Amino acid sequence: MTIFIFVFAVKLNEALVGLCESSVIVHGYQCQEFYVKTEDGYVLNMQRIPSGESSSSSGDDDVKVNKQPVLLQHGVLVDGMSWLLNSPQQSLPFILADSGFDVWIAHTRGTRFSRQHANLDASQREYWNWSWDELVDYDLPATFNFVYHQTGQKLHYVGHSLGTLIALASFSEGKLVDKLRSAALLSPIAYLSHMTTGIGILAAKAFAGEFTTLMGVAEFNPKGEAVTQFLHSLCKNPGIDCYDLMTSITGENCCLNASTVDLFLKNEPQSTSTKNMVHLAQTVRDGILSKFNYGIQVMNVEHYGQGKPPIYNLANIPKTLPLFLSYGGRDALSDVKDVEMLLDKLKFHQGEDLTTLFINDYAHADFIMGVNAKEMIYNALISFFGRH
């Protein structure tokens, strides 16, 4: 019960419009809003879809049924709404709910529904003083343990993009694995050194290069003036096609619905911290997975007691932890060569404990918004969950 010292939940007043109201209940599903506080004070919004469409009219009793919980964790520069943009027949949370799972959607610190903090304000620099190390250390344990305590059950996990990296890093440290049934990793990101997106490579160089100026603790707001200008300057480079920015970042998605992309662009992208972007850029540059590098040896010593930041050793992920991993042939962020490096780290996983699904035509966004993702991936993912 000690968990409730750190974590609290508030059922939102019905009058407040959250994602439940705008994107779930409208489709005839039940939905509950929660707020979960991390140990370092960030207040994270979550939605729970406790049951499928068919049982939506039978009232609150359904919630108590012993269904297996699934936690959905989105990637960088978006929020949990990115799971909910297609029709219910095509969107993973609804498909999971209709398949009998108790579905929980998380939103990373700094995104629009998760901007509160116990004693900081998002307008303050200190609020943005974190990288994905803190998502591993605080956000993921907060949402994960919250679901575990609410449901009294071990979880299935689905991560997309950065949502896979923080899970892998966490599992490699032996965290959360005792409360986990299995994990599905879509567009897995761990190693990033083969990333093919031109604008991503340039951005990574800029972040890692102009390290001292950019490391300034600040919000990275993709809709803000500073980031817009930064992107503009990158787009002036030869060979960078910014006509379709989304394609130049994610790779050529095969299967997106134009109306869904419009909805995506209206609601996303979302803010993250500049420090998080710098940390990702370090991963691209260094080709290894380590904690945030302060760049100056004495600062690393101060933070880690050693001159170089500690490495996340993915080979330490328990080999009996069931993993489902799906990646795409056209994904510019999760390049096939990088996924192969990841798979090499997982080579001691055997048989049923590692299922891989390669989709030749898929790029980064197809995994969450592809109109045929149910047939291509989600059905296999659900039967994988069913086996664990």
- CB 172 to ligand NAG: min, Å: 21
With beta carbons less than 8 A apart as the criterion, state whether 207 and 234 touch: no
**Residue 73: other Cβ atoms inside 10 A:** 27
Answer yes or no: 331 catalytic.
yes
- CB 181 to ligand NAG: min, Å: 31
Single out the catalytic residue among 331, 335, 338, 366.
Answer: 331
Contact between 125 and ligand NAG per CB under 6 A = yes
Instruction: Say how far apart CA 357 and CA 116 lie, in whole Å.
Output: 38
Q: Choose the stretch contacting ligand NAG; rule: CB under 6 A; options: 51-59, 121-129, 218-226, 337-345.
A: 121-129
Q: Give the residue with the Cβ less far from ligand NAG, 151 or 267.
A: 267
With beta carbons less than 8 A apart as the criterion, state whether 219 and 117 touch: no
Q: Give the residue with the Cβ less far from ligand NAG, 126 or 352.
A: 126
With beta carbons less than 8 A apart as the criterion, state whether 36 and 114 touch: no
Question: How far is CA 78 from its chain centroid?
Answer: 8
Phi/psi at 290 (5° precision): -140, 170
Contact between 217 and ligand NAG per CB under 6 A = yes
Answer yes or no: 161 catalytic.
yes
**Cross-strand pairs, 219:** 273
Q: Which residues ranging from 279 to 318 are in contact with ligand NAG (CB under 6 A)? A: none
Q: Give the residue with the Cβ less far from ligand NAG, 138 or 384.
A: 138
> At residue 142, what is the residue type?
A
Q: Which residues ranging from 228 to 257 are in contact with ligand NAG (CB under 6 A)? A: 257
**Count residues contacting ligand NAG (CB under 6 A)?**
8
Q: Choose the stretch contacting ligand NAG; rule: CB under 6 A; options: 109-117, 123-131, 169-177, 359-367.
A: 123-131
Single out the catalytic residue among 56, 114, 161, 273.
Answer: 161
Q: Give the residue with the Cβ less far from ligand NAG, 84 or 234.
A: 84
Residue from 95, 67, 92 nearest 151 by CA: 67
The residue within the footprint of ligand NAG, chosen from 229, 259, 320, 383 (CB under 6 A), is 259
Q: Is 152 left (phi over 0), alpha (psi -120 to 50) or beta?
A: left
**Cross-strand pairs, 358:** 327
Residue from 10, 138, 166, 152 nearest 73 by CA: 166
- CB 126 to ligand NAG: min, Å: 4
Answer yes or no: 279 catalytic.
no
Site string for ligand NAG, 13-32 (x = CB under 6 A): --------------------
**Residue 235: other Cβ atoms inside 10 A:** 16
**Residue 329: other Cβ atoms inside 10 A:** 14
The residue within the footprint of ligand NAG, chosen from 126, 241, 262, 352 (CB under 6 A), is 126
Looking at the annotation, which residues are catalytic? 161, 331, 364
Q: Which residues bind ligand NAG (CB under 6 A)?
A: 125-126, 129, 217, 257, 259-260, 371
